[in-house]
A and B are shown apart, each in its own frame.
Chain A
């Protein structure tokens, strides 16, 4: 019962909130859809923390995609042994995680300890987001370093990855998650919660990555709309 709630119901509820929330926010709150940059208040810490955090986060997301979406049978089929895969994945994950952790630590210190100004422009949703993100990253690092580097290791590709892919074909097997170590369970639950708050936080700026800028003419001209606002 508990397993079904945590690993079947919760993910679907969170994914629904994630999708519907984004549609709702996009349609009703264009004015609030921003990075909420605080660089005008503080630039020295940000110059290190922000690039480290963002690059680390990108690498971590790519690593998760590779680990969760690519079935074990595929990597075996192209001749990659499980051991080789594991070594590469753990090494890459450790590096990416360290970069992410360093960036997050700098940003947290900057926001909550060193810059009073930045702390003042921190919203309640920012605090929720930072708390969830920090917990998730710490647990993720524990898995990588504590379980896989220092510990005996855990082959999540046979259980968690299968459960994860099952979510998208509407056949999630809660028993697979229930058999995983506790840190992996927490990590999955926190990830669901993170997805659920995503549309209501500044994380929405992720979807506004300005790729179109590369192909656009420099100067943008616009015609005044027919019904122009006169104050």
Chain B
């Protein structure tokens, strides 16, 4: 057993309202530069829908991720090492800018400089942010947001295309949800494995996958190898860039920008301990439906004394082991088992997990005349409903609808249990037994999913780099605020609560 730590994320999709705040704050932080205008390290997709880049889940076309060869060994779907080097001159699997979208800006200048002439109203026309030429805006990172235009576009959703005719024809009446996506910081990253110049790497300390900008030579194999299409080519620098998991913030013990600014408070951040020796084995499980269990089995219980001892042997610091014990991510993935990985069938062992949305099921319950707070009605709907179960299974369990149903049942049972508790203080043992959870666990899960404060949602221990801690303290405070310093204020020296609002004066 070789214990390694991984900073991981869980997103509770029931709470995502599709406001794109995460995308915008991420963009402002990381990609508001020339060359990556089209890149969104964090994007929010409406599902069913095209996704960004369009149809990125169609691995028949893009050949991202891993597959098993004839002898059951892992192989990058885009081919072996020799084949990759043979394609250095032209990568047949690389998406072009038009598969993302052509970034546009507007002729705002004409609004200001147009002559005063009532008969002609000046218009800010769109221009390409790349060429400066007038263009028609016909694509964007959320072109089918909230099912806009989905009668036309949604048929191109690869997950939907894999489903039966009946599902495809009736989906629009049934459900919709938002899927925020960042880099998965996989345990078995295809991008890292495909990088010819070894510029991409996974950090030993926290599992964050990064591109060494100095070492990248622009062979652009990572872009096509990533099945989630979360590595982007900066067309100005000619180098690859990707979601950094906001590592400077994580190192300082702060949550990522997307998690911090999430309006729905649906992102959970925490540590996972995993057995690095068994990664390749877990990724090579023959049946795709078994990948979820294989991936979960890699994660080590941080309260198991043996695991703790092994973690210490691997040099993981005491406060990190403690943080792993308090990890909300571990609870959602392993204890309550309500979080699922996105597309486990890509065999990259992704480390951003999702609590599947119950809301479309509840809508369907209501539409059938049932009571969406009645556990039996909801259970009945979940088991009887083929949509969107098949769709969710296509996203999160490699097609195994039973696994998705199990998670949704737990979430539905949690709602029913909490309702009874708050209405008349009773509990239904049969209900809890059906989902195999104790009342304490259900209530703890409820607390985590519904009312958890930031400190419970984001458990990020600061990195063990003395320099990092030092710099971080400079960044968050004023250097003049030291003891005896000119900027020293009573609150700064005493600690305590800083008032955020002005004290209100009483009217005389």
Contacts and interface: CB of A to CB of B under 8 A. Distances in A.
B248 to A, nearest CB: 4
A47 B219 CA distance: 14
A55 B216 CA distance: 23
A120 interface: yes
B94 A40 contact: yes
A127 interface: no
A220 B237 contact: no
Interface in A94-127: 116-117, 120-121
A30 B218 CA distance: 12
Nearest to B29: A231
B214 A40 contact: no
A202 to B, nearest CB: 8
A47 B81 contact: no
Interface in B74-103: 81-82, 84-85, 88-92, 94-97
Interface in A185-231: 205, 208, 210, 212-214, 216, 218-224, 226-231
Nearest to A43: B96
A227 B470 CA distance: 11
Contact of B239 (A34, A221, A227): A34
B131 interface: yes
B203 interface: yes
A40 B81 contact: no
Contact of A228 (B204, B213, B239, B463): B463
Contacts of B203: 221-224
B471 A230 contact: yes
A228 B217 CA distance: 23
Given A41-B235, A51-B89, A121-B236, A30 B214 contact: yes
B467 interface: yes
Nearest to A119: B131
B91 A208 contact: no
B237 to A, nearest CB: 7
B258 interface: no
A116 B236 CA distance: 15
A64 interface: no
A117 B135 CA distance: 13
Contacts of B121: none
Contact of A43 (B90, B196, B467): B90
Given A37-B218, A117-B97, A220 B201 contact: yes
Contacts of A55: 89
A55 B193 CA distance: 25
A219 B133 contact: no
Nearest to A215: B81
Contacts of A32: 237
Nearest to A230: B471
Given A219-B192, A222-B204, A223-B203, A210 B467 contact: no
B218 A31 contact: no
Contact of A230 (B131, B236, B472): B472
Contacts of A76: none
B248 A229 contact: yes
Contacts of A216: 198
A42 interface: yes
B218 A205 contact: yes
Contacts of B91: 39
Main secondary structure of the interface of B (DSSP, over half): loop
Interface residues of A, number: 45
B465 interface: yes
Contacts of A30: 214-215
Contacts of B248: 229-231
A224 B217 contact: no
Contacts of A219: 188-189, 192-193, 202, 279
Interface string A45-56: 011001101110
Contacts of B92: 47
Contacts of B85: 210, 213-214
A33 interface: yes
Contacts of B214: 30-31, 33
Nearest to B133: A116
B96 A39 contact: yes
A213 B217 contact: no
Interface string B456-492: 0000000101011001100100000000000000000
B204 A39 contact: no
Given A37-B218, A218-B193, A228 B468 contact: yes
A53 B90 CA distance: 11
B208 to A, nearest CB: 9
Contacts of A117: 97, 130-131
B342 interface: no
Given A36-B238, A51-B89, A219-B189, A228 B465 contact: yes
Nearest to A44: B96
A42 B96 contact: yes
Given A34-B237, A34-B239, A208 B463 contact: no
A39 B465 contact: no
Given A30-B215, A40-B96, A50-B90, 15 more contacts: A32-B237, A33-B214, A34-B217, A35-B238, A46-B90, A205-B217, A214-B82, A218-B192, A219-B189, A220-B200, A220-B201, A223-B205, A224-B205, A227-B467, A230-B475
14 contacts: A34-B216, A34-B218, A35-B217, A36-B238, A39-B220, A43-B94, A117-B131, A208-B217, A210-B198, A213-B196, A220-B200, A221-B202, A228-B465, A230-B475
Interface of A: 30-43, 46-47, 50-51, 53-55, 116-117, 120-121, 205, 208, 210, 212-214, 216, 218-224, 226-231
Interface of B: 81-82, 84-85, 88-92, 94-97, 130-131, 133, 188-189, 192-193, 195-198, 200-205, 213-220, 223, 233, 235-239, 248, 251-252, 279, 463, 465, 467-468, 471-472, 475
